[in-house]
């Protein structure tokens, strides 16, 4: 069988998870397509997705940066008191043979989420404003997708919940403002994720 | 009947789902390297898998936390720590810790090994169920990091001079490595290999 010509290829879409091939017609806002074989979502375009993603990304960036310097958890026992910021938690393993872990923790809860937010803003802002994409936008978006599984802010939050219960045995615990800021960041990121359609972004970047 | 991109002499881009002639090395839309089937996939899966299993052994043998309060000091391995929490009455938290750091990692090792063997040797499970298993492994793998974050939070917060202090143990590093290696192992797996076996009838043992 001869492969179709190049202009034909644009009207095709293949499932990245099972290689099933489909033909795509014109895609309207609000349309969604799933692979028939493995049910992977091929695309899901939602109304005003770009604007919502940008605004949530901007809000999360501000919240994460502010949360860095405010106390996360404070404990007291027998008159001794200690508060811990996000940076303290990330640097818990610092100094000593375990400092590699510090890097991993800083990366997964602060550096990578922030990097992904910046990359998302960089890629999508010109698209939403109907301007040509900024230089390197494709590379930025690809990097952002590669980093996705390594950005673990939400897992950190569950870790916090677990340590809270461990801590209540040991001392009196108070949650700081940074904790609640982090909770809202996770919610904003979940909204952002549900509106993100990779296929549409790549389509838009190609123009 | 599903037609795959490979049947048509095409290759699908795994990051943007666009389709290209099979001999094209890089995606014309996003620049990702194109492979119809990742031939090196299983080798990388097994390499990271072995690294993950090896790192998991010291993670369970060495202490995760050194806890020191006024009256006594203790060193807890992952399992001992979970049982201690259960003894304090928080069964649910003990369950979360045991689930995230013992049951999930072990299940992940078996699941990845099963998928890799199923692709080369054939399996009883239908392709769809194998694919669901793959998706679950991909989704859940990151959550094992909870325990590392708990250690980081505890060590940064509980610094109350003589009243109580917690320091990280070597197992934290080994455990983090194990989680990261298993994530890399699961990411190396090419899910399209699962579906390729559908075309040939499934092999079954005589028993």
Crossing angle for the helix pair B78-87 and B41-61, nearest 10 degrees? 60
Interface-testing mutation among A8, A11, A18, with chain B (most B C-beta atoms within 10 A): A18
Do A29 and A111 lie in one domain? The reply is no
User: Taking the mean position of all CA atoms in its chain, how far away is CA B178?
Assistant: 9
Inter-residue contact B5 to A21 (CB < 8 Å) = yes
Nearest to B157 by CA among A82, A76, A94, A90: A82
Q: What ipTM does this complex have?
A: 0.85
The interface residues of chain B toward chain A in range 164-203, judged by CB-CB distance below 8 A, are: 164, 168, 170, 172-173, 176, 180, 183, 187, 191-192, 194-195
Query: Does the pLDDT of residue A91 top 70, yes or no?
Result: yes
> Would you call A101 and B148 a contact, using CB atoms and an 8 Å cutoff?
yes
The per-residue pLDDT for A59 is 94
Percentage of residues in chain A with pLDDT exceeding 90? 21
Q: What Cα–Cα distance (Å) separates residue B81 from each residue in A136, B56, B98, B151, B176?
A: 48, 16, 9, 11, 17
**Total domain count, chain A:** 2
What is the domain extent for residue A4? 1-45
| CATH value at residue A120 | 1.20.140
Distance from CA of B16 to the nearest CA of A (A): 6
Strand ranges in B22-95 using DSSP code E only, listed in sequence order: 65-69, 73-76
Per the structure block, which two tokens stand in for A146?
């590669």
Note the pLDDT tens digit of each residue in A10-68. Answer: 788 888 888 888 888 777 777 888 888 888 888 888 888 888 999 999 999 999 998 88
Average of per-residue pLDDT values in chain B: 83
> What element of type H or E holds A140?
helix A137-147
- Using a CB–CB cutoff of 8 Å, tell me whether B140 touches chain A: no
Do A169 and A143 lie in one domain? The reply is yes
Q: Which residue has the higher pLDDT, A93 or B11?
A: B11
Do A39 and A54 lie in one domain? The reply is no
Q: Which residues in B lie closer than 8 A to residue A205 (C-beta atoms)?
A: 29-30
Measured between CA atoms, the residue of chain A closest to residue B18 is: A13
Q: Count contacts between A and B (CB, < 8 Å).
A: 220
Do A52 and A110 lie in one domain? The reply is yes
Do A28 and A100 lie in one domain? The reply is no
Stretch B43-71: mean pLDDT: 89
Backbone angles phi, psi at B51, to 5 degrees: -60, -40
Q: What is the CA radius of gyration of chain A?
A: 21
Do A110 and A151 lie in one domain? The reply is yes
- Using a CB–CB cutoff of 8 Å, tell me whether B40 touches chain A: no
Least confident of A120-134, B66-80, B174-188: B66-80
The per-residue pLDDT for A7 is 52
Do A1 and A76 lie in one domain? The reply is no
Note the pLDDT tens digit of each residue in A97-137. Answer: 677 888 888 888 889 999 999 999 999 999 888 888 888 88
Do A70 and A130 lie in one domain? The reply is yes
Stretch A184-207: mean pLDDT: 87
Residues 6+ apart with CB under 8 A from B157: A73, A75, A82, A84, A88, A89, A163, A167
Query: Does the pLDDT of residue A76 top 90, yes or no?
Result: no
Measured between CA atoms, the residue of chain B closest to residue A24 is: B18
Q: What Cα–Cα distance (Å) separates residue B158 from each residue in A85, A96, B75, B101, B167?
A: 12, 17, 15, 22, 9
Distance from CA of A3 to the nearest CA of B (A): 6
Do A83 and A97 lie in one domain? The reply is yes
The per-residue pLDDT for B198 is 62
Do A25 and A60 lie in one domain? The reply is no
Buried b (16+ CB within 10 A) or exposed e, A176-201: bebbebbbebbebbeebeebbbbbbb
The per-residue pLDDT for B161 is 64
Instruction: Name the band, by pLDDT with cuts 50, 70 and 90, for residue A3.
Output: very low
Per the structure block, which two tokens stand in for B158?
């509980």
Measured between CA atoms, the residue of chain B closest to residue A158 is: B146
Do A24 and A126 lie in one domain? The reply is no
Query: Does the pLDDT of residue A2 top 80, yes or no?
Result: no
Stretch B189-203: mean pLDDT: 71
Measured between CA atoms, the residue of chain A closest to residue B23 is: A3
Do A29 and A124 lie in one domain? The reply is no
């Amino acid at each position: 069988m001869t492969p179709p010509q190049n202009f034909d290829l644009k009207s095709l879409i293949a499932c990245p998870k099972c290689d099933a091939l489909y033909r795509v017609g014109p895609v309207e806002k609000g349309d969604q397509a799933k692979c028939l074989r493995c049910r992977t979502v091929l695309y899901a375009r939602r109304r005003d997705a770009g604007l919502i993603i940008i605004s949530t990304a901007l809000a999360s960036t501000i919240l994460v940066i502010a949360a860095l310097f405010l106390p996360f958890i404070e404990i007291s026992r027998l008159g001794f008191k200690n508060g811990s910021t996000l940076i303290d938690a990330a640097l818990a393993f610092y100094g000593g043979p375990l400092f590699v872990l510090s890097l991993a923790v800083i990366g997964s809860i602060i550096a990578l989420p922030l990097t992904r937010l910046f990359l998302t803003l960089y890629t999508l802002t010109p698209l939403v404003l109907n301007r040509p994409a900024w230089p390197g936008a494709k590379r930025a978006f690809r990097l952002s997708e590669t980093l996705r599984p390594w950005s673990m802010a939400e897992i950190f939050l569950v870790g916090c919940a677990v340590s809270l219960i461990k801590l209540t045995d040991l001392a009196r615990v108070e949650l700081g403002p940074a904790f609640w800021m982090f909770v809202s960041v996770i919610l904003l990121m979940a909204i952002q994720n549900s509106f993100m359609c990779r296929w549409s972004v790549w389509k838009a970047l190609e123009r | 009947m599903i037609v795959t991109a490979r049947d048509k002499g095409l290759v699908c881009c795994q990051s943007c789902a666009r389709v290209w002639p099979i001999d094209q090395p890089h995606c014309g839309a996003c620049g990702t390297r194109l492979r119809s089937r990742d031939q090196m996939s299983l080798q990388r899966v097994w390499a990271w898998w072995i690294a993950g299993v090896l790192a998991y052994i010291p993670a369970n043998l060495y202490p995760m936390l050194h806890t020191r309060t006024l009256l006594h000091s203790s060193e807890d391995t992952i399992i001992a720590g979970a049982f201690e929490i259960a003894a304090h009455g928080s069964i649910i938290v003990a369950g979360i810790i045991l689930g995230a750091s013992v049951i999930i990692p072990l299940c992940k090792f078996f699941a990845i090994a099963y998928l890799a063997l199923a692709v080369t040797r054939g399996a009883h499970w239908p392709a769809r169920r194998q694919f669901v298993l793959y998706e679950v492994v991909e989704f859940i793998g990151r959550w094992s990091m909870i325990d590392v974050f708990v250690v980081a939070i505890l060590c940064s917060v509980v610094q109350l001079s003589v009243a109580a202090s917690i320091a990280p143990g070597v197992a934290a590093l080994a455990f983090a490595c194990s989680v990261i290696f298993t994530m890399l192992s699961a990411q190396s797996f090419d899910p399209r290999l699962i579906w390729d076996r559908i075309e040939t009838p499934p092999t079954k043992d005589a028993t």
